[in-house]
Structure 1
Amino acid sequence: MARALYVDIDLIHLNPTATYFPQLIEAAVPDVSFYGPGFSSPDLLAKGLLSWIRETGPYEVIFIGPNSPILVENLDDEVIRSTLAYMRDYTAHGHQDSQIVAFFKDLFAVLPEVDIKHRIATSLNFDYYGATDVQVQRLQDWNLTLIGPNEQFVRPLAELPDFVSQEKHFQRKKARLSDCWFDFLHAHPERVVTALHYVLPSEFSHTPIHLRRPVVAVPGVEYHLRKEANVALRRAGIRIASKWYFHLFRAANRLGVPVYGHPLGLHMYNHCFQRTLKTSRYVYTARGGFGLPIRKFFEIPAAGALMLCSPCTGYQELGFTDGVHYHSVEPDALPGVLQELSRTGAGHDVAVAGRKVAANNHSLQARAQQIALCLQALTNGTYRGARWRQGQFFIEER
Structure 2
Amino acid sequence: MLRILLIDANTRYVNPTRNLVPSLLGQIGELVCFGPGYSSQEELKKGLNAFISKNGEFDLYIATEIGLFRDDWSDFYQSAIIKYSANDFHPEDLRYFVPIMKDFNALSAVKVISLLQTDFYAWTDFHIDRIDNRGYHFIAPSGSLFKWRSEMQNLENETFADLVNDNWKRFSEKNKDKIIPFTHFVSEAELYFECLSNRKKRWSVQGANYAARIVAREELSKAGYNLKEWSPTSIYEKFRKFLGNQRAEGLFVQNYIFNRRLETVKYSFTCNSAMEFPLRKMFEIPAKGCVLVMPETKTAKALGYVHMENCIFTEPSEIRKIDYWLSTNEDKAQSIARNGLELIMRSHTISARAKMLSEIFDQLVQSQYKGADWMNGELVL
Shorter-chain TM-score bucket reads over 0.9
Any idea what SS the aligned residue of 1:63 has? strand
Aligned twin of 2:300: 315
Name the aligned partner's letter for residue 38 of structure 1: G
Pairwise CA distance, 1:204: 0.7
Aligned counterparts, 1:258-277, within 5 A: 262-277=247-262
Distance 1:185 1:6, change over 3 A: same
Aligned twin of 1:379: 365
CA deviation vs aligned residue, 1:286-319 (integer Å, no higher than 9, x gap): 1112111010011110100011112454211211
Name the aligned partner's letter for residue 56 of structure 2: G
Aligned twin of 1:110: 103
Aligned counterparts, 1:1-398, within 5 A: 1-28=1-28, 30-66=29-65, 68-70=66-68, 72=69, 74-76=70-72, 81=75, 84-101=78-95, 103-115=96-108, 117-162=109-154, 164-171=155-162, 173=163, 177-240=164-227, 242-243=229-230, 245-250=232-237, 262-345=247-330, 346-395=332-381
Distance 1:311 1:69, change over 3 A: farther
Q: Distance in 2 between matches of 1:295 and 1:33?
A: 27
Pairwise CA distance, 1:250: 4.9
Q: Please say which of residues 83-92 and 384-393 is displaced more in the overlay.
A: 83-92
Q: Distance in 2 between matches of 1:97 and 1:290?
A: 34
Any idea what SS the aligned residue of 2:36 has? coil
Distance 1:360 1:64, change over 3 A: same
Distance 1:18 1:84, change over 3 A: farther
Any idea what SS the aligned residue of 1:168 has? coil
Distance 1:192 1:215, change over 3 A: same
Q: Please say which of residues 50-59 and 80-89 is displaced more in the overlay.
A: 80-89
- Work out whether residues 84 and 97 of structure 1, in 8 Å CA contact, stay in contact via their aligned partners in 2: no
Pairwise CA distance, 1:238: 2.4
- Work out whether residues 129 and 181 of structure 1, in 8 Å CA contact, stay in contact via their aligned partners in 2: yes
Any idea what SS the aligned residue of 1:315 has? helix
Distance 1:248 1:137, change over 3 A: closer
- Work out whether residues 158 and 211 of structure 2, in 8 Å CA contact, stay in contact via their aligned partners in 1: yes
User: What RMSD over aligned residues (CA atoms) do the two structures have, in Å?
Assistant: 2.2
**TM-score where L is the length of structure 2:** 0.93
Distance 1:128 1:252, change over 3 A: same
Pairwise CA distance, 1:248: 3.0
Pairwise CA distance, 1:26: 1.3
Q: Distance in 1 between matches of 2:311 and 2:362?
A: 34
Pairwise CA distance, 1:10: 0.1
Q: Distance in 2 between matches of 1:386 and 1:240?
A: 40
**TM-score where L is the length of structure 1:** 0.89
Any idea what SS the aligned residue of 1:112 has? helix
CA deviation vs aligned residue, 1:69-98 (integer Å, no higher than 9, x gap): 41x3x5346xx6478442233211122221
Q: Please say which of residues 357-366 and 35-44 is displaced more in the overlay.
A: 35-44
Pairwise CA distance, 1:394: 1.4
* Uncovered stretches (5+) of structure 1, i.e. residues with no partner: none
Any idea what SS the aligned residue of 1:182 has? helix
The percent identity for this pair of structures is 22
What is the total number of aligned residue pairs between the two structures? 380
Q: Distance in 2 between matches of 1:21 and 1:260?
A: 26
Distance 1:46 1:157, change over 3 A: same
Pairwise CA distance, 1:51: 1.0
Name the aligned partner's letter for residue 359 of structure 1: M
Name the aligned partner's letter for residue 90 of structure 2: Q
- Work out whether residues 2 and 379 of structure 1, in 8 Å CA contact, stay in contact via their aligned partners in 2: no
Name the aligned partner's letter for residue 212 of structure 2: L
- Work out whether residues 113 and 139 of structure 2, in 8 Å CA contact, stay in contact via their aligned partners in 1: yes
Pairwise CA distance, 1:366: 0.5
Any idea what SS the aligned residue of 1:388 has? strand
